[in-house]
Chain A
Amino acid sequence: MSNDKKFFTRMGDGSVVYMTEVEIREDIAAGVADAATRGKIPPLSTDEIQRIYEIVTMPGIVVGVEPGQEIVSTSDSGADKVGAKCGVPVDRTTQAVIHERVLGCDSVDIGFRDYNYKTAKGVVEHEAHAVRSALNITTMPIFYGAMTNLGFYTKPDGPVENWAELLPQGRIEESFKAQEEAVEHAVRDVVYVAEQMNTAGADAMNLDTSGAGGDADFLAALKATEIIRERFPDLAVEIGMAGEFVLGMHGKLKYDGVRLAGLYPHQQVKLVEKAGASIFGAVVNTNCNMSFAWNIARVCTFMKACVEVASIPVHANVGMGVCGIPMCEIIPTDSVSRADKCMIEICKIDGY
């Protein structure tokens, strides 16, 4: 192979770039090293690094796995992508059936367009109707999904002081108190919605984008999961993360004696297991300024470490801007299929 042959690939923002074998191999090595250093986890083996190179440079737009290696899928706001994202005038119950019988999805979640539990609580009766209607006419599992989204509990829309305003003013203790109070509000709302969904007969709850508001946000998801599993044992829970790293907006919050701030996926999953969730939706962020090769190598290093320690199924979140998928609205299938193939073959993920 000529050293100056250039391969079609992409940057983390989705733009096309042509790179030589040497450039791609350098980026893969750098991506692995970055994840290993940040996560304090083992790097990938030489064979695994070679496999990533082969997949990144594989001919064809869409690549796939060998028969028998197929994995299952979950979603976030899946049953409203057709309506809300694509603007097709069709209700969520119908969208759930489309996901099952047209798109061949393994499961789908129904969620409110303003995808958070605080908002869903106010219209939960209507939400439960949509879920129950879908459950009557679909065969696959139906989740109800939303975000804990702790920021929604701050003034002026919510009941507690805004810690993002308190922190720059040096009002540290007040910011702690506000976040701790918000956790209690969020847990109550998630459990209230879960109760209605259990009555409707939903198969599972998806606590999506957990940790978006930092460590307190993640704590709310863990606490809510614990209560849901205790009160509604037939209602499973999936916790999906917002990012690879739990931000320490509070910094001192703990769950099961473990400080939440600074946890990476292989550490997050152990707490998710402890809380009683059935599926962990792991996230590794995409860096727009780096190549797909750098990003996916970094993703595989984190994801492999996570799957290895997990005793529950790990579903990699392969949406816009996470797990190697470029940060752009219209997702290129060349990148998606390569990211999927890498994570199935190298990380042995249980789903996505």
Chain B
Amino acid sequence: MGGIRTAGDLVIRMQLTHKMKLDEAKKYVAEKLGVSVMDLCDVVKMAEVREDLGIGIQEPFNGANIGMEAKFRISEILGQKINSVERFKERAGVK
């Protein structure tokens, strides 16, 4: 799907955590991001959406969210636990 160029990383997260088939995973992610299923694979649309939401972009400018900070936001938006985010919180003492 293009990973963080689009929403591929988010769709596969739903496959991993909730065992969703592709169409169901795309629909879930689209609803959470407030976009259409077709938008999910559009690099232009998704670059804007991802930048606005702070969930990681392909070419991060200085100050843009990427990596762990982006995953904190993704965890919140998708409403799902992300293992590395949980481990980070435990170690950093973040509630």
CA A203 – CA B9 in complex, angstroms? 12
Question: Which of these, A103, A136, A141, A313, contacts B21 with CB under 8 Å?
Answer: A313
CB-nearest residue of chain A relative to B58? A101
Segment at the interface with B among A193-201, A214-222, A332-340: A193-201
Q: Is B94 an interface residue (CB 8 A)?
A: no
User: What is the bound-complex CA distance between A139 and B38, given in angstroms?
Assistant: 22
- Say whether B84 contacts A68, CB under 8 Å: no
The interface-forming segment of A25-33, A80-88, A104-112, A146-154 is A104-112
Interface residues of B in 1-49 (CB under 8 A from A): 1-6, 8-9, 11-13, 15-17, 19-22, 25, 37-38, 41-42
Contacting pair A202 B84 (CB below 8 A): yes
Q: Are A203 and B2 in contact (CB under 8 A)?
A: no
Query: Cβ of B38 and Cβ of A204 under 8 Å apart?
Result: no
Classify the secondary structure of B's interface with A.
helix
Identify which of A52-60, A71-79, A158-166 touches chain B.
A71-79
* 25 A-B pairs with C-beta separation under 8 A: A67-B42, A70-B41, A72-B12, A73-B1, A101-B58, A103-B3, A105-B3, A106-B2, A106-B3, A106-B12, A132-B84, A135-B68, A136-B84, A139-B9, A140-B4, A200-B87, A201-B85, A202-B83, A203-B13, A234-B86, A236-B16, A311-B19, A312-B19, A350-B15, A350-B22
> Which of A104, A202, A236 makes the CB contact (< 8 A) with B17?
A236
- Residues of chain B contacted by A106 (CB below 8 angstroms): 1-3, 8-9, 11-12
| Minimum CB distance partner of A106 in chain B | B8
A235 to B17, CA, bound (A): 8
Which parts of B47-89 form the interface with A (CB within 8 Å)? Answer: 55-56, 58-59, 66-68, 70-71, 74, 81-88
* Total chain A interface residues with beta-carbon distance under 8 A: 44
Q: How far is the CB of A43 from chain B (nearest CB, A)?
A: 24
Q: Are B15 and A203 in contact (CB under 8 A)?
A: no
- Candidate in A99, A141, A312 with the most chain B CB atoms within 10 angstroms: A141
A279 touches B (CB below 8 Å): yes
With beta carbons under 8 angstroms apart, the residue of A100, A140, A234 that contacts B83 is A234
Candidates B2, B56, B74; contact of A104 at CB < 8 Å: B2
Chain B residues whose CB sits within 8 angstroms of the CB of A311 once the complex forms: 19, 21
B45 CB to closest chain A CB, in angstroms? 12
Q: Do the beta carbons of B67 and A73 come within 8 Å of each other?
A: no
Measured between beta carbons, the chain A residues less than 8 angstroms from B85 are 201
A residues near B4, Cβ cutoff 8 Å: 100-101, 104, 139-140
Q: With contacts A70-B2, A234-B83 known, is A141 near B55, CB below 8 A?
A: no
The answer, yes or no, to whether A9 is at the interface (CB within 8 Å) is no
Do B8 and A73 touch (CB < 8 A)? yes
Q: Which residues of A contact B17 (CB under 8 A)?
A: 236, 278
Chain B residues near A132 (CB-CB < 8 A): 84
* Contact residues in A for B74 (Cβ distance below 8 Å): 139
Among A71, A72, A140, the one with the most B-chain Cβ atoms within 10 Å of its Cβ is A72
Q: Is the CB of B22 within 8 A of A351?
A: yes
Q: How far is the CA of A311 from the CA of B9 in the complex (A)?
A: 21
Contact of A203 among B5, B38, B66, B82 (CB under 8 A): B82
Please give, as numbers and ranges, the residues of chain B lying within 8 Å of A74 by CB-CB distance: 12
Q: Flag if A203 contacts B67 (CB, 8 Å).
A: no
> Which B residues lie within 8 Å of A202 (CB)?
83-84
**Which B residues lie within 8 Å of A310 (CB)?**
21
Which chain A positions have C-beta within 8 A of B41?
67-68, 70
